[in-house]
Every structure is written in structure tokens, then in C-alpha cells.
Amino acid sequence: MQGNVTATPLRQESVFYEKITLTQEAQPPTDSGRHRIGILGGTFNPPHLGHLLMAEQVGNQLELDEVWFMPTAKPPHAPGKKTIASQHRLEMVKLAIEDNPLFRLQDYEVNQGGKNYTVDTMRHFVEQYPQSDFYFIIGADSANDLHTWKDIHQLSELVQFVGVRRPGMLPYKGDIPVLWVESPLVDISSSEIRLRVYLEQSIKYQVPAKVEAYIKEHELYDFSM
């Protein structure tokens, strides 16, 4: 398989969501015989415990076979957003997910370089992995911005969007089908972590210990971003 995706992890018991509506909730498990892959994209600058919790909850509740962490080379939906070298972000993701057999690092977009559009990436994956169904994981705040994504209606035919719902989230008002998964509230952001590092404050328990050590070893975020 593409990138570092090589093995199928153990399945975890939970519930699987099948036919969807805009607000579909849990349904009994079904077994289509197809490989179910979740994708969590982002800059991961740096990856933190909120990312891991989101991926774990979706993977467990939807009985996914794998969850891919897919760092982007240059975020198309955040003009002017700064990020560090992709190799650092790839290495931090690898360290963050290495103890979870459900998780995989997917380096396709970084290897492609430039500005990555999700619809182009998913066209590639659907062609490469015809026996797989894809579940694209987004935060609740991103769901209401889906209408701004390139070729969003075509993209919604290639993937099932999965929104991670948290307490106090704004109601979803879009017309793109989104499958909602409940998750505990963890108020952590990469931008706040970068600021804390810059201000020489602790980031312990906000990122995995190995990610914290990597940031210190390579002196990342020692400038304002």
C-alpha cells in the first residue's frame, strides 16, 4: 500500500455506522467484506493528544480497519498558514502513533508536495485501493466549512465524512452528509502548543512524551509562529 501503510491491525469492538443521513447516529454492525479506512488530515504542527483521541474514538466507534494520519504539504484551506519542514512533522506523527496498531502514517500528500486538495488525493486513493471504503475525519468546526472545499460534492461521493462532535458545538447547517461520532472534550490546539514552546512553558500531557522530546531535541518552535 501507499506510503507506510503495510498491515491490517486488530479490529476493535464498537458500533458501525452504515446508511447515512445528515445526522445519522449509531446503527448495528454490518460486514460488507470491504476494508474500512479512516483518514485524519492536517498539518500536525505538532501532533497532540487531541488528534490521537479523535482518531481513536472514530476508529473504535466505526470499527475501522485502519486510521491514516495524513500530514499535508501545504494546507489549501488556510492561506498564509506557516508550518515547519514536512520531515519533522512526519517524524513526530510516526512517534505519536507508533504504539497504536490501528494507526498508520500516510505520507502521500507530503510526497506530492505543493498545495494538496483533498478531492485530488481521494481520487488517487479510490483508484489505488478499489476494495476500500474511506471515512474522512473532520472536527466539528470544519464541518460548516465543507462548502468551501474544492469539488466538495464530488468529494462527498468518494468518502464518507465523519464529524467528531463535542459538547457545545455549533449546529451543523451544511448539505454535505456527515456521520457524527461523540468524543470527550479535549481543548488542545497546535498553535497554543507552539506558543507554549516559544514561551518556554510546559507542554507535558498535551503531546506524547516522545513528541515533546523530539521538539526539544530539534529545537522546534523556538520562534514565534
Residue 96: Cβ within 10 Å count: 26
Average pLDDT of every residue of the chain:
84
Cell of 160: 464518507
Contact 105, 67 (CB under 8 A): no
Cβ contact 85:191 at 8 Å: no
Q: Which grid coordinates belong to 214?
A: 523530539
| Residue-level pLDDT at 76 | 58
Of 51-55, 64-68, 166-170, the least confident:
166-170
Q: Regarding the domain delimited by 35-188, which CATH topology (the fold level of the hierarchy) does it fall under?
A: Rossmann fold (3.40.50)
Least confident stretch, 5-19, 50-64, 93-107, 173-187 = 5-19
Give percent above pLDDT 70 in the chain.
Answer: 80
Give pLDDT tens digits for 107-158. 999 999 988 899 999 999 999 999 999 999 998 888 989 999 999 999 999 9
Where are the chain's structural domains?
35-188
Name the maximum alpha-carbon separation found in the chain.
Answer: 51
Give the C-alpha separation, 139 to 190, whole Å: 14
Amino acid 91 reads E
On whether the CB atoms of residues 96 and 108 are closer than 8 A, the answer is no
- Name the nearest CA neighbour of 183 among 200, 202, 169: 169
Q: Which among 88, 93, 114, 130 is positioned nearest to 1, based on CA atoms?
A: 130
Q: CA–CA separation, 169 vs 13, rounded Å? A: 27
Neighbours of 77 (CB within 10 A): 14
pTM comes to: 0.82
CB 154 within 8 A of CB 181: no
Stretch 50-62: mean pLDDT, rounded?
Answer: 96
Stated as kind and residue range, the H or E segment containing 195 is helix 190-198
Q: Are 58 and 214 in contact (CB under 8 A)?
A: no
Q: What is the dihedral of CA 33, 107, 94, 137, to 10 degrees?
A: -50
